[in-house]
Structure 1
């Protein structure tokens, strides 16, 4: 059994009302590859990633975050996590079993403390992938996911306790206190983060580009195409990664990024970064200023799928 129950982020699954526009957005604008569809569910891979898919889109009358999926090292880790969660009263959607999604594997789903569906899996077959070439402005892989929470300290404690995520850094506001917590499950600065928000929802999903030039080319291409830019281009302090945030056709925020920091976990000590310092939001000073309007654009709509597992 692996020491940590979670090894990495696999995919983020969403349900949307305007399904056809969402499919066209990922395929024609965002740069993902459609790898499967049954008419009501479509799977998208990133060309540089061995994951079978990094985003799944489902047609639905209610917009929601269907689930967030993480990898585990082996079956023993999956079984031990399921046993631990169940013994502490965490609601399991099902017991560990063979997965029926592309690539197969072995895993299970459960609800986090706020009712999101989380999946943990292992033995998923690797997808044939390729090296992203110079100046090719498409995502290499899924980088991280950020969750909105009205009780972020409680959610942080839950992920630390049950999934062994570790706090890397925190952005703090002079009046509100902590407003964003960056969490890791491997040496990557963060695979997930938690943002303070009035309601439970998806804050954003982030996609890694090949390098600075590809990141800028992709950001500029979307801006020229009239995709609504929320914030960027710039470079954050926590994680030292670049950012440009856009709205997809259903109002979810999606990010292009690159150069996310890799840590020496043995020597790392979490920082507190004040939002009063403009370099906390953007070290370069090139993005539109972070303000209440930009923050509200990332609040998203309240999630309608809490404590209700997606049908597939």
Structure 2
């Protein structure tokens, strides 16, 4: 389908990066990986040395999204297609590869100028998975780090670029009620989506990252026992189940200015299933969720006005 096998890691900058050192373990039972050379707090959810890296910075900002390919041949092939598409691929030097904890790395940008990376051979020798509280672990492996969702000015345009240039396949398209536009969901492995785009006119930025638990109990414990349930002021959406990927989850504002979706039981799409994208219309009073997921409207500080 594509050289890109899965979402590998995400890096952000934040003036409140140090809060992640306690926030992620206490809230979601994540481990801490090895610190970055610049003092970045790195979050570990499986055998990979890290999956999220929160760097010190003057503002909340996306720093990079790392897409994993399986080997150096796939990286060469992807680099050639990125060059042809005008995405400005550049081979990283040894210092940047070591900073990311990978063997080979290519940097590039998407059609809106957002910083992407493709890499192969990520380090996984720091520590075995050993959560700070009882936890059944996260769904990663062949599906990689959960998923990433962006607010974009044109979801169809963004999706077409990612399918044409990066080889993603469209899973679902959901028509939402105004002021939101359509939402497009794309996959590169059996995970329902590794990336999605929410259309908001004139806006661009990171909306949320999804962490998928192996156990519903771990989601419920975080929601009720750690965060205090429905009354937590940092919630974007209360506990519920989606119509599209059928995930049971909630959304919480985090110290780096975007949202974390924390959930369980995402719908896998077998690689052998050659289906057309589902078009799900939830406008004009139609049910937007199987149940729950009521909005508590909180700001997303990483989404900002975009002008070409």
CA, structure 1 residues 175+27, in 2 after alignment: closer, same or farther (shift >3 Å)? closer
Structure 2 Cα separation of the partners of residues 170 and 204 of structure 1? 18
The answer to whether the aligner puts 1:235 opposite 2:241 as a matched pair is yes
Partner of 1:42: 41
Structure 2 Cα separation of the partners of residues 277 and 235 of structure 1? 20
The RMSD of aligned alpha carbons is 3.0
Q: Where do 1:243-258 residues align within 5 Å?
A: 243-258=249-264
In terms of mean alpha carbon deviation, does 152-161 or 269-278 score higher?
A: 269-278
CA contact (8 A) 2:207 2:302 kept: no
Q: Where do 1:162-241 residues align within 5 Å?
A: 162-173=165-176, 178-197=181-200, 198-224=202-228, 226=232, 228-241=234-247
Residue of structure 2 aligned with 1:103, choices 101, 126, 138: 101
CA contact (8 A) 1:137 1:217 kept: no
Q: CA deviation digits over 1:224-252, x for unaligned, max 9?
A: 29561111200101111112000112431
Partner of 1:83: 80
Matched pairs, number: 296
CA, structure 1 residues 138+123, in 2 after alignment: closer, same or farther (shift >3 Å)? closer
Unpaired runs of at least 5, structure 1: 308-312
Q: Per-residue deviation at 1:69?
A: 0.7
Residue of structure 2 aligned with 1:126, choices 124, 127, 139: 124
TM-score, normalising length: structure 1: 0.84
Residue of structure 2 aligned with 1:276, choices 274, 283, 299: 283
Q: Per-residue deviation at 1:190?
A: 0.5
Structure 1 Cα separation of the partners of residues 194 and 131 of structure 2? 21
Unpaired runs of at least 5, structure 2: none
Structure 2 Cα separation of the partners of residues 124 and 264 of structure 1? 25
TM-score, normalising length: structure 2: 0.85
Partner of 1:310: none
The answer to whether the aligner puts 1:63 opposite 2:31 as a matched pair is no
CA contact (8 A) 2:151 2:303 kept: no
- 1:36 is paired with a residue whose SS is coil
Residue of structure 1 aligned with 2:2, choices 1, 4, 13: 4
Structure 2 Cα separation of the partners of residues 174 and 155 of structure 1? 20
